Amino acid sequence: MFDEPYRWTEAVSARHSYVQEKLKKAYPVLAIPFNEGAFLMAIGPQSGKIYEIYDRIAMGAMGHPADIEKMRMTLLDMSHLEGFNRSVQDVVLGRLLQFGLAPALKQNFEEVMRGPYLVQMALVEVDGKGKAKFFRVNYDGHWETFTRGTVIGGDSKLTSFVEKQLSEVEFSNLPLEEALVEACKLWKEGMDKIESEENGIPETMKKILDDWVLETAVLNYKTARKSIVRTLTDAEVDRLKASCEKI
């Protein structure tokens, strides 16, 4: 294979198609700012999409559970090693991606005799001044940065719609509770772009929140704790469900 470059190119192209097909039915993960930081949100029939990585960093992912766990552990190990060898302030996503995770993903993807990782990630970090940075990392090591939020999802119609809305709505001016409600509306409208017989979701947002698993990671820079990452409280979830009754 390696003495015929076009065969390697065909193999890589086939890997792209294979991974994209596997991720096609994955439910989206939204990464969105609010007036005191940012949050990750995922809704689906089962959990396992959102994790705290470090004091000011959280990860959302879709794909094969084993590959998501591999990425989570890789980022955890890199973060703690960076914090130990340098300082806590040096643990930033730009460094972790550029010098660690992205090269490893690229190498794995281009080694055509090995199985590719079935994963796509949305990463968020918030600094002490409340500035949020959003990253989208692909299975082949390609990554992008965003300031107004981002989304990962298996369906291109859904992701295109959400990206357009994120560029138009000023989520960064909204308090957390309002931003969560708007995010749920955005999630539901995005899912409605997919044929209902294909997505198989409950009809209303309230029923979705009642029957499915809501995962969140809220990064609030005004938090007094060292780690600013937390999940929604039960009271916050109840208020969100009440606000979503008409969605």
DSSP count for the chain of H helices, then E strands: 9, 10
Instruction: Please state the separation of Cα 82 from the chain's center in Å.
Output: 22
Q: Which pLDDT belongs to residue 196?
A: 52
pLDDT at 199: 56
CA distance 195 to 201: 10
pTM for the structure as a whole:
0.93
Give the model's pLDDT for residue 211: 93
The neighbour count for residue 149, using CB atoms within 10 Å, is: 28
- All residue ranges of the chain with pLDDT < 70 are 1-5, 195-199
User: Residue 216's closest CA among 44, 93, 55, 36?
Assistant: 44
In order of start, what are the domains of the chain with their CATH numbers?
A: 26-241 (3.60.20.10)
Cβ neighbours of residue 33 closer than 8 Å, sequence gap 6 or more: 132, 134, 148, 149, 171, 172, 179
Measured CA to CA in angstroms, residue 107 lies from 76, 141, 245 at distances of 20, 8, 47
The string of pLDDT tens digits covering residues 143-164 is 999 999 999 999 988 999 999 9
